[in-house]
Every structure is written in structure tokens, then in C-alpha cells.
């Protein structure tokens, strides 16, 4: 077989339930992957495990497999998933029990060694990000289903590709090509028109899930099953390539892929060829994601309607000040969100939102004193007083942190269907990460008339989270647009357009081959998504906000 066809049926825990069946029945596949893990998911599974030591994996996967295991067996499709979460051995046992009950001969293996929680007291979950060679070992030994815990999202693709083509740890360029393909696949329909700036270019009512056709040299074609919704073009693939990345070096446990070497070309309808990817030896250390409970959080959202919004907000702040001072929470944050408009045709569009968020290690501090004080204002505050929802007792929130450990401290192990255990060796060579030299910028557009207009008329964007940081990838649709964007959208201009970044470190990375800029904003998400530091805690819409900001755009581009 010259091409390995790898499809993805899940981009997160809670993705479309029917996707596994759709992928197995919609066309030819060799391997079907499912990505169920994110930073927040690990915290959720950690809390599940507190209640039940036998829990800690994505139960949705089991329910999907109950409907689809027979299909996969009939069609000879192998399944690789990180749904094992915090308990890959437990999920592997559950899959074996399911296969036995259904009378389907399935060899089930799993990968372990990522769980470092015992070495991190106080953490609900501490897991190293493993690469794909444990998966490869399971597949080479005949596994039909491979269950992992915390591996990198791209490892679900690099593992099967390495097993199929016989790649070793030194095949950096080939592995880098598979990493890029895996990164495109990992978020499912985000590669086929979902969450895409130019979604009106195609029918995204129900996007199909993506497929990578991988060749022996690491080249890949991104596509989808015929007849499924959505669309695949250079733009949808570019958007996903920029998602949750940083600079030109995209580091992983198997290889560091050079995103500045990626070449994308349209290879036919719903087909994008990804080639030219260069790889380097991976870093010497592995990333470890640490999830712990950060304390308790409570929120009250006051609705301010009509006239005198600022004065009404000030009155509430003064009225709540006494209660907040008696038992002061560790953190108090007020945000006035001006969703109101003058002479509004509906009450809702005449209303602004005043949000109070409090955090503290003690639940009682953020509970009754805050909620009670807010409710007591019901008949004694601004005209039209009401809140979006009754305040509660305070709920726990999580904190995500990352650290790095030497590879030899992580016992990466493939556990085969027959019980044999195969240690997965670390790569012989490693290379410490370093930034690349800034590439030359294209020639600027000649001077000409401009007019104020939204950035999004000439550029797409996709944004996301990595712990407390956010990235915003911005790309131009044309060469002329790139000549303007590369010179206009500097880090300083980004700070002007996104005011909350003005006091934070903002790094701009230039990727000319993708006609793209990638901005990393450090600390904008506080302690990560589970801490709900800002209105959009995963920065999912930060890029779309940026696209809506007005700049002086050359009329030649409009």
C-alpha cells in the first residue's frame, strides 16, 4: 500500500456521536483515530477519578464502539484513540469486555507511562505528553485497537504512519510531515470548514470529518469522504495549521516540525496537498500538563437596562463593597459589558451586563456572603434590577500549568493484547528548541488610497489556548494581501487592536509560506481555561474579534 488513509472521528470529548459510524461507512479507511483530550478534559476526568478510581476515561468512546466495532472489524479498519485519558488500562479492559460480549475478535493494546501524578502531590492529574512510537509498537504487534492516555494529538497519526511505513526515530522529515497532517486532523471538522473565518465559501451545515492520505515520504493529502458536508481548501488547512501553535518550530516528543517549510497546494476538489515539511530532532524534555483545583469561584451578572448605565454600575459596586470587605475574597473582578444600544427596539438590546467574579481558596468566602449581598439588593438598588441567574454557593475551578521533565523519567510503555510489555526507547538525538531567524518580509505594497474597513475583509484568523497563553494566527488570502499584512500588522499594532494585550508580552512569528502571522499573547488567559479568567476563556473568538477591528485598508485590496 503506497498511501495510508487515516481518518479522524473526534476532535474533543463531546464531539458528534455519529461521526465514528459516518467515517466507517462513508468511504475507504485504513486507520480511524479519535481525539478526546484537552487540558480541561484532563481536569474533568481527574474529578471523575476522585469519585470512582475505575473511571478516568472517555465513556462516550465505549458507546460509540458498541455500535461500530463490528463495522471496523468487517472493513479491516484499525482504531487508535487517546480516549483512555487518565486510565488507558481501564478503557482497554472495557473494550475487551465489549468485544467479547459482541463476539468480535479484537486485539486490544494500550500505551501507558504518561501518568506522573504520584510525583506531583496536590495535583488531580499530571501527565506527560508522549509521542507515537508506543502506538506504533502496538500496531506492529498486531493490535486492532490501541488505547492511549495523554499523547500529543498528532501522535495518533505519527504512530500509525511509523508502524505502516517502518519509520524510525531518525526519520525526522517523514515524521514531521505526519505531525503536520496529524495537527490538521486533530480538531476534526475545523479542517473541513468548521469554525472557519470564510465559512460562507461552502456549505458547513454539517461538515464531514477529515482524512489524511499519507505517503511514505511524509507527504499528505487532506481530504474527506465524498458526499459529506463542508469543504477542504488551502484556507481551511491553513487555519487549522495555525491553531494553538507558536513559532516556526512546532515541537513534539517525536520530532520538531518546521512550520515555515510547509507547502500547501489545492490538489483537486476537497483535496489539499501538504508537502515539503522538514523535521528536526525533538527537544530533550517532555512537556507535562499539571491540573489541580485552584479554589472556588462565584459569579453574579447584573443586568443594567436603558439610561444611566455607568451610574447604575457604580451604584452596584458601592453597594457590594461592604459585603466584599467583610470577608474579602482573594480576587474580585468587575467587568461592564456594554451590549446596550440607544433607542433599542428590544429590552435585551437596551441592556448592558455588569459581571462580578470572585475567587478564593475557601468556598464559604465566595458563597453566601457574596450571593446573599447580591440578592438583598433586589428591591434596594438601581431601577430595573435583575440578574441573569441566581448566584450560587461557589463552584470549584481548575488551574493548568506546564512543566518539562527529562525523557528518561517517563516510562513510555506499549502493553500488547497478549500482556507483553514493550519499553519505548527515547530517540537517540535531541535538539534544544531555539527561535528561528526572522525571515525577510515581502516587498510592501506601493502607496495608494485607503479607507477604514475591517481587517477580516482581507485576512482570516484562528485563535486558541495553550494554558494561560493564547495564540492568534492571521493569514492573507492573496499575495497582495500578504504584502500589506506582513508590514501593517506588527506586534504593536496588534496591541492597539486588542487592548487587553497592551501590558502583556506579545510575540509575532512570521510564516511567509503560509502568508501568515502568528501572535502569542502570554498570560491573557490567566491560569488556563478551567480558571475562566476572561469572557472567552479559551480565546476561541479572539481572532474573530481581531478581524472585526478597523484599519486603513488599501483600496486596491478591497
In a domain, 443, yes or no: no
Do residues 348 and 385 both lie within one domain? yes
Backbone angles phi, psi at 36, to 5 degrees: -115, -5
Say whether both 11 and 88 belong to one domain: yes
Name the grid cell of 395: 463552584
What is the chain's alpha carbon radius of gyration, rounded to the nearest angstrom?
A: 25
| pLDDT tens for each residue of 295-337 | 999 999 999 999 999 999 999 999 999 999 998 999 999 999 9
Same domain, yes or no, for 192 and 327?
no
Q: Find out whether 85 and 38 touch, Cβ atoms under 8 Å.
A: no
Q: What are the Cα distances from residue 357, in Å, to 336, 368, 371, 400?
A: 12, 14, 11, 19
Same domain, 23 and 144: yes
Judge if 278 and 310 occupy the same domain: no
Distances in Å between the alpha carbon of 324 and those of 102, 277, 317, 373, 546? 59, 55, 10, 9, 35
Please provide the DSSP assignment of 537-554 as one string. Answer: TT-TTHHHHHHHSEEEEE
Tell me if 225 is assigned to some domain: yes
* E runs forming strands in 155-284: 210-215, 220-224, 249-251, 256-258, 263-266, 272-275, 278-280
Half-sphere exposure of 396 (CA within 13 A, CB side): 10
151 shares its domain with 7: yes
Q: Let me know if residue 57 belongs to a domain.
A: yes
pLDDT of residue 426: 86
Residues 280 and 317 in one domain: no
Say if strands 125-128 and 285-305 run parallel, antiparallel, or are unpaired: antiparallel
* CATH of residue 385: 3.30.70
DSSP strand pairing (31-34 vs 3-8): parallel
Write out residues in the chain with pLDDT < 50, as ranges: none
- The reported pLDDT for the residue numbered 1 is 58
CA dist 323 and 262 (Å) reads: 57
Residue 434, domain member (yes or no): no
Which range marks the domain in which residue 474 is found? 450-557
For residue 17, what are the CA distances in angstroms to 13, 177, 265? 10, 29, 32
The answer to whether residue 429 is domain-embedded is no
- As a whole number of angstroms, the distance between CA 183 and CA 245 comes to 10
Question: CA torsion sign, 259 to 265 to 267 to 271?
Answer: positive
Residue 533 and residue 390 in one domain: no
**Per-residue b or e along 375-414, where b marks 16 or more CB atoms closer than 10 Å to that residue's CB:** eebeeebbeebebeeebeebeebbbbbeeeeebeebebbb
445 assigned to some structural domain = no
Residue showing cell 500505551: 111
pLDDT of residue 547: 97
442 assigned to some structural domain = no
pLDDT of residue 239: 98
Answer with the one of 399, 433, 464 that is the final residue of a domain: 399
Q: Are 144 and 211 within one domain?
A: yes
Residues 278 and 207 in one domain: yes
**Whether residue 196 sits in one domain with residue 270:** yes
In a domain, 294, yes or no: no
Number of domains the chain is built from: 3
Residue of 152, 131, 125 whose CA lies nearest to 57: 125
**Residue the block writes with cell 475507504:** 28
* 551 φ, ψ (degrees, to nearest 5): -130, 170
Do 238 and 138 share a structural domain?
Answer: yes
Amino acid at each position: 500500500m503506497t498511501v495510508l488513509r487515516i481518518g479522524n472521528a473526534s476532535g474533543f470529548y463531546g464531539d458528534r456521536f455519529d461521526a465514528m459510524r459516518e467515517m466507517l461507512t462513508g468511504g475507504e479507511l485504513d486507520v480511524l483515530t479519535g481525539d478526546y483530550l484537552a487540558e480541561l478534559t484532563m481536569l474533568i476526568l481527574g474529578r471523575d477519578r476522585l469519585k470512582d478510581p475505575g473511571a478516568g476515561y472517555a465513556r462516550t468512546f465505549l458507546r460509540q464502539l458498541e455500535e461500530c466495532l463490528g463495522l471496523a472489524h468487517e472493513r479491516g479498519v484499525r482504531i487508535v484513540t487517546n480516549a483512555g485519558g487518565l486510565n488507558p488500562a481501564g478503557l482497554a479492559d472495557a473494550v475487551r469486555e465489549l468485544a467479547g460480549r459482541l463476539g468480535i475478535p479484537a486485539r486490544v493494546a494500550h500505551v501507558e507511562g504518561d501518568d506522573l501524578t504520584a510525583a506531583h502531590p496536590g495535583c488531580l492529574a499530571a501527565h506527560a505528553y508522549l509521542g507515537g512510537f508506543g502506538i506504533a509498537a502496538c500496531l506492529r504487534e498486531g493490535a486492532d485497537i490501541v488505547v492511549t492516555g495523554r499523547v500529543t494529538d498528532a501522535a495518533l497519526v505519527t504512530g500509525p504512519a511509523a508502524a505502516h511505513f517502518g519509520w524510525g526515530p531518525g526519520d525526522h522529515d517523514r515524521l514531521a510531515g505526519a505531525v503536520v497532517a496529524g495537527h490538521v486532523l486533530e480538531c476534526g471538522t475545523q479542517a473541513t470548514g468548521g469554525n472557519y473565518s470564510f465559512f460562507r465559501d461552502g456549505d458547513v451545515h454539517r461538515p464531514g470529518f477529515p482524512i489524511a492520505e499519507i505517503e511514505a515520504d511524509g507527504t499528505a493529502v487532506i481530504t474527506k469522504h465524498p458526499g459529506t458536508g463542508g469543504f477542504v481548501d488551502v484556507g481551511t488547512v491553513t487555519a487549522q495549521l495555525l491553531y494553538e501553535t507558536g513559532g516556526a518550530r512546532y515541537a513534539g516528543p517525536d520530532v520538531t516540525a518546521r512550520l515555515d517549510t510547509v507547502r500547501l497546494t489545492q490538489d483537486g476538489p476537497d483535496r489539499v496537498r501538504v508537502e515539503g515539511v522538514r523535521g528536526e530532532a525533538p527537544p530533550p524534555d517532555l512537556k507535562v500538563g499539571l491540573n489541580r483545583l485552584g479554589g472556588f469561584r462565584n459569579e453574579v451578572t447584573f443586568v443594567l437596562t436603558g439610561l444611566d448605565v455607568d451610574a447604575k454600575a457604580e451604584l452596584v459596586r458601592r453597594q457590594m463593597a461592604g459585603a466584599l470587605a467583610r470577608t474579602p475574597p482573594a480576587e474580585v473582578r468587575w467587568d461592564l459589558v456594554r451590549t446596550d444600544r440607544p433607542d433599542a427596539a428590544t429590552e435585551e438590546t437596551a441592556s448592558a451586563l455588569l459581571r462580578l467574579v470572585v475567587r478564593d481558596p475557601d468556598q464559604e468566602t465566595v458563597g453566601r456572603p457574596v450571593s446573599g449581598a447580591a440578592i438583598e439588593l433586589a428591591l434596594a438598588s438601581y431601577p430595573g434590577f435583575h440578574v441573569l441567574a441566581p448566584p450560587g454557593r461557589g463552584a470549584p475551578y481548575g488551574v493548568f500549568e506546564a512543566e518539562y521533565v527529562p525523557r528518561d523519567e517517563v516510562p513510555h510503555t506499549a502493553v500488547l493484547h497478549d500482556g507483553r510489555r514493550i519499553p519505548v526507547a527515547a530517540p537517540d538525538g535531541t535538539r534544544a528548541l531555539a527561535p528561528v531567524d526572522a525571515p525577510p518580509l515581502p516587498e510592501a505594497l506601493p502607496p495608494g488610497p485607503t479607507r477604514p474597513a475591517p481587517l477580516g475583509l482581507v485576512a482570516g484568523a484562528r485563535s486558541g489556548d495553550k494554558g494561560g497563553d493564547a495564540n492568534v494566527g492571521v493569514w492573507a488570502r492573496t499575495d497582495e494581501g500578504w504584502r500589506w499584512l506582513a508590514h501593517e500588522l506588527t506586534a504593536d499594532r496588534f496591541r492597539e487592536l486588542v487592548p487587553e494585550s497592551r501590558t502583556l508580552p506579545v510575540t509575532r512569528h512570521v510564516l511567509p509560506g503560509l502568508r501568515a502571522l502568528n501572535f502569542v499573547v502570554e498570560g491573557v488567559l490567566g491560569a488556563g481555561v478551567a480558571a475562566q479568567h476572561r469572557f472567552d476563556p479559551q480565546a476561541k473568538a479572539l481572532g474573530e474579534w481581531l478581524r472585526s477591528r478597523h484599519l486603513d485598508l488599501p483600496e486596491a485590496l478591497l
